Structure 1
Amino acid sequence: MFKIKHVLLLSFTIIALTIAGCKSQFEKLRLSNDTGKKMSEALKLYNKKNYAKALILFEDLSQKYRGRSEAEELNYYYAMTLFKLRDYTTARFQFKSFADTYPTSRYAEECRYMGAYCFYLESPKPSLDQENTVKAIDALQLFINFYPKSERAAEASKYIGLLRAKLEDKAFSNAKMYYELGGYDISNYKAAVVALKNAQIDFPDIKYAEEMDLLIVKSQFAYAKNSIEERQEDRYSEAIGYADEFAESHPESKLLAESKELRKDSEKGIANAKSVLAARKADYEKYKAQLDKEGKKDTTTIKTPNK
């Protein structure tokens, strides 16, 4: 038993010393001034996918290779190592810097593409701010402009399509949010109509066209329904106009029946508003006639409605 324990302890000690030895060799190399050997080892580490250690050496060499011919290859692998480590923000900066510094390099096209691709990878989900998505589209389009015949141009176009779809999702989601908040403030219904129209201007071929057009009708209808009677006729009339536009644009839509129903309800809303206002006017006329009969003046202050 003692012998087995001794052998195991000896084995662990040898392994630990070997690891320590490897570590000390790396540290020794890192601190040395042998740039050629350091570059060679950095490339070996990169090819072995030991990107963390490779980065340490590349970063150290970047200072010593500045202004030298070897800097081109070093900067390429430095940017690629950052990318492999998923530091996309720093990587895209290094890719752009490389492409700008070495525009005729054999790596220039790849680096310009990779810089744009890093923006693509940093594009957030639709519910978040889409600033990086817009920047990614611009960067990918710039790559296509630089290299229209590149094999990567088709891939860049595909990513642009995916990013634009994300912006469409965001635009539709924002407009729906206004509609859903309408119960708290009816002005949100009007804001929904404006947001939906703007989204369709920004994205003429948006995949949500039918849903958005119906939501415009629904938003305008809700805006009219929750308004005071003095404002309802005009607002219901707008809802009817949007319903007619829906029928013209989507004659075969499965949503057409709902749009037609909202149109009918808008017509009823107009009739009801007129009835309420007529009754109100008749009551007022009676009230005024009674005052005249009693020889009194009407001191009622009528405010212009704004809801």
Structure 2
Amino acid sequence: MKAIVFDAFGGPEVLHPVDVPAPEPGPGQVRVRVEAAAVNGWDVKYRAGATGSREPAAPVVPGLEVAGIVDAQGDGVTGVAPGDRVVGFADTGGYAELALTSTFAPVPDGVPATSAVTLPVAVETAHRVLRAVGLREGETLLVHGASGSVGALTVQLAVARGARVIGTASAAHQDRVAALGATPTTYGAGLVERVRALAPDGVDAVVDAAGAGALPDSIALRGGTGRIVTIADPAASDLGVEFSSRSERDAGDLAHAVAALARGDLVSTVGAVLPLAEAPRAHALVESRHAGGKVVLAP
């Protein structure tokens, strides 16, 4: 099968196509004929050698999220059969014609694979950070990076739980944040004053999905480090703020999100869909931070 790999750290140009053996599903796994593979920030960091990993000893197939059609399954798999459409976390790299997944959800007809594939990582992360801050109905949540894939899902899940959300984003994305159900405001100098004007009674919790240096302002708004969590700011440990990175994958959470997407109760944004062979261009687009949504590869 065709796959995109890298065998040394570097820029997007280290990604290249190769022929590799098709993976065989083990217990609890299904094999998916990939229709869409999402490009995540983690893929970009890993390829660049920015995750602290050692130089790969063998070619690496990147890709955390896949959507497509089941064509084989291992022992113990129930509720799905060859020919069914699914989306899930890739156990093998997603930048390939075939991939394995053991945490997946059905995709209804009418939901494009390119839309479904935007969900697994963002949904898992959004649920995890909301659990970390213990958000409750009626509280006010501040979300940094509210227009990004994780931030947007966090906003929508928090609003659905009955919270009031204030979301920070660039000036160009204020309308998008408002459309998600949050009260938008911009980054930068004066953030504390802007948020206090929007929430005179204070904010109950903060989720930082941007890593744009907003933790000191968040601490000022909270009056301490409690109920603040970041997934993106490496300064967290120095400031005494929780950094959340351990994935807590749940097929049920993913299935609920896919169903909500199908009903129109949840929205996600695809910034670009590119052929698998254009993986280097896809990585460059993610690095530019101007994709305008999730970048997706279509084998």
Q: TM-score, normalised by structure 1?
A: 0.22
Identify, as 1 or 2, the structure richer in helix: 1
- Structure with bigger strand share is 2
Structure with greater contact order relative to length (CA < 8 Å, sep ≥ 6)? 2
Larger radius of gyration: 1
